[in-house]
Structure 1
């Protein structure tokens, strides 16, 4: 079973990179949004295992979106990822999966 990722970020040049990195794992599937309202709609209509918050999101949007996700699915993992290379992103994801006992 694939893990489903939702990526929210406002830096449109970064999102394709994050999508490529996440989707490189055959057990992961990601979709990305620049608009938090569209992301919320997708979140409500799909089973999301992990949310990645990327760069250029306003602080209040980050807090509101995280709160929204956890309210609607307390089991979802929300990771703030603002750079550091592909190895760091994969490590952050694997660490969270390990903590949740999903590895």
Structure 2
């Protein structure tokens, strides 16, 4: 199975840590997390990111701007807005995107 890299942006630190733990629990997934969108942009420009997860407590305009930046910079990236619902929902969202891309 292919390995995938994730960037997670969220301003709620406890939730960000949970998402990092959940994503990194999959041996084929590697996630890094940021609470600052400028640091996240720098990382995005320097690394090949497959998925961007937008988590809670991000201002609406920041979320839209960051998603647009990612898609403009790397049109093949998958941007997922994930605001809760447990680990099962998160995995389902990721697997759904992989399925739609023909990766499963």
Which ranges of 4 or more aligned residues in structure 1 deviate by more than 6 Å?
Answer: none
RMSD: 0.6
1:79, distance to aligned residue in structure 2 (A) = 0.1
Residues paired across the two proteins, number: 103
1:102, distance to aligned residue in structure 2 (A) = 1.2
TM-score by length of 2: 0.97
Query: For residue 21 of structure 2, what is the aligned residue in structure 1?
Result: 20
In structure 2, runs of 5+ residues without a counterpart are none
In structure 1, runs of 5+ residues without a counterpart are none
Kindly report which structure 2 residues correspond to 1:1-103, keeping only aligned pairs within 5 A, or say none: 1-103=2-104
Q: Secondary structure at the match of 1:79?
A: strand
1:89, distance to aligned residue in structure 2 (A) = 0.3
